Amino acid sequence: MKVARLTLSDRASAGVYADLSGPEIERILGLAGVVVTEWIRRVMPDDRLAIEEVLKQLVDDERCDLVLTTGGTGPSARDVTPEATRAVVDREFPGFGEIMRVQSFASVPTSILSRATAGTRGRALIVNLPGQPKAIGECLPLVVPAIREALKHLRGE
């Protein structure tokens, strides 16, 4: 399976701090036993049109089966990941964001400010994840079963 991880952060892309969220995605998928044959890793600023273009490129040109974004799902003006995702998907699956918000709420009541979502583009799945490594560690394992099931359906299995 070819997987892309796309870290969306003005500061990480500018080198202000290291991207810790992208490597956490890889670690969690590895622990879950997800076999990835190829990783595509990108870090870029919070720019809606640029995010849309990269999402399309990762699915249409690079032929990724799964694209996991991290960051850009909050309430600030620069948080545009859900809008970029909705602009490029054929079908939206809001349950991904809903379960992550519910899971996080017990420990982080402000998690309800997250606007993360997911959807399909062609035969690929795009999932928005939180921007903090700790939140990825709490949320990604919850949605791995749904990711597996969605990918089976998208492949026609």
pTM for this prediction: 0.97
Q: Look at residues 94, 15, 10, 11 and name the one whose alpha carbon lies nearest to residue 47.
A: 10
Q: Look at residues 56, 51, 87, 53 and name the one whose alpha carbon lies nearest to residue 69.
A: 51
Q: How many residues does the chain have?
A: 157
Specify whether domain 2-154 bears CATH 3.40.710.10.
Answer: no
Tens-digit pLDDT profile for residues 26-77: 999 999 999 999 999 999 999 999 999 999 999 999 999 999 999 999 999 9
CA trace torsion 32, 34, 36, 41 (10° rounding): -40
